[in-house]
Amino acid sequence: MSAIIFRRLLAAIPVLFIIVSLTFVLMHNAPGSPFSTERHIPAPIMAELEKKYHLHGSFWRQYGDYLGDLVHGDLGLSTQYRNRTVNEIIAQSLPVSMVLGSLAYSFALFAGITLGGLAAVRHHKAGDRWLMFAALLGISIPNFVLALLFIRVIAIDLALLPVAGWGSLDQLILPALCLSVPFVASITRLTRGGLLEVLRLDFVRTARAKGLSETAVLFRHALKVAILPVIGYSGPAIAGVLTGSIVVETIFGIPGIGPFFVNSVLNRDPFMTCGVVLVFGLFLILCNLVADILYFVVDRRVTMQ
């Protein structure tokens, strides 16, 4: 087991290398330059700028310089937020997003699995159809509409929670809730779908025949098999939610990493983009590894190679 994990972690290095290289190539080929402004910049100043940010010379020279820096753990300088290193920006913003994201996803898992279980038990009844309707709304309503609605109703009309900001616990609730809604909806549907497949199987009948309560059958026996799609879905989803959301973080004024994913690309900030992509890739690989291990732990019929 530990050998497999070790091998997977080793395989992460080439994967990350390919991800960063492809991003670098894409950024290099995107139209526009990080230094283009309305004003004309004289050639000597441009040359100095490019030199300072390690963006001078041929593509291979720039790429080689960047890889050299990366090996030393230096993610480079941001061209947009002048004089700040990418390391510094990520170190400040990533923990914020991780706190918010982990809170949101824990809630989503709890609520989604519970609601999915309830819906599966009430299959083809009104309760199931209403829950599925609500879940569908949760997936289809765009996040920005939902956030504005929450602020309007909960923060302004009812004045229960602060409108925006970061730092205290009550400021955490509304954005976390908002972030979790689409995930709650997806997990509910996946859990329900998985359970509907499983609840007809022989081992569930056996468990019922043994006289176990319906809750015990559902949560101790059926769910263990039915949960596999949720695990598969959660790998990429957790990687995404821990690295922030531009919409929620912008609306609620949270200093997280989410906006950098979009803004760094729009600003043609090559090192910032590569930096956040590297962070996301790392999370993705780790989360998928954990998901694969969980497949094995939850369902022993899965073999690990």
**Residue 288: φ, ψ to 5°:** -65, -35
Copy the structure tokens of residue 118: 């309830």
Q: Give the range of 101-109, 161-169, 182-190, 204-212 binding other proteins by CB under 8 A.
A: 182-190
Which x/- pattern over 240-279 shows residues binding other proteins (rule: CB under 8 A)? Answer: ---------------------xx--xx------x--xx--
Give the C-alpha separation, 299 to 305, whole Å: 15
Residue 116 Cβ vs other proteins, minimum distance, rounded to whole Å: 10
- Residue 236 in contact with other proteins, rule: CB under 8 A: yes
Total interface residues for other proteins by CB under 8 A: 58
Contact string (CB under 8 A) for other proteins, positions 136-165, x = contact: xx-xx-x-xx--x-----------------
Per-residue contact string for residues 11-30; x = within reach of other proteins by CB under 8 A? x---x--xx--xx--xx-xx
Q: What share of the chain is helix, strand, coil (3-state, %, to 5)?
A: 75, 0, 25
CA atoms of 181 and 135, how far apart (whole Å) = 9
Nearest in space to 249 (alpha carbons), one of 172, 183, 169: 172
d(CA 15, CA 177): 33
- Closer of 163 and 173 to other proteins (Cβ): 163
Compare residues 75 and 172 and give the one whose CB is closer to other proteins.
Answer: 75
For other proteins, the binding residue among 197, 203, 215, 253 (CB under 8 A) is: 197
State how far the Cα of 179 lies from the Cα of 185, in Å rounded to an integer: 11
Q: Which of 50, 162, 173, 193 binds other proteins (CB under 8 A)?
A: 193
The Cα 206–Cα 218 span in angstroms is 12
Q: Is the dihedral of CA 8, 21, 246, 165 positive or negative?
A: positive
CA contacts within 13 A on the Cβ side of 273: 22
Residues that bind other proteins (CB under 8 A): 11, 15, 18-19, 22-23, 26-27, 29-31, 124, 132-133, 136-137, 139-140, 142, 144-145, 148, 186, 189-190, 192-194, 196-197, 200, 225, 228-229, 231-233, 235-236, 261-262, 265-266, 273, 276-277, 280-281, 284-285, 288, 291, 295, 299, 301-303, 305
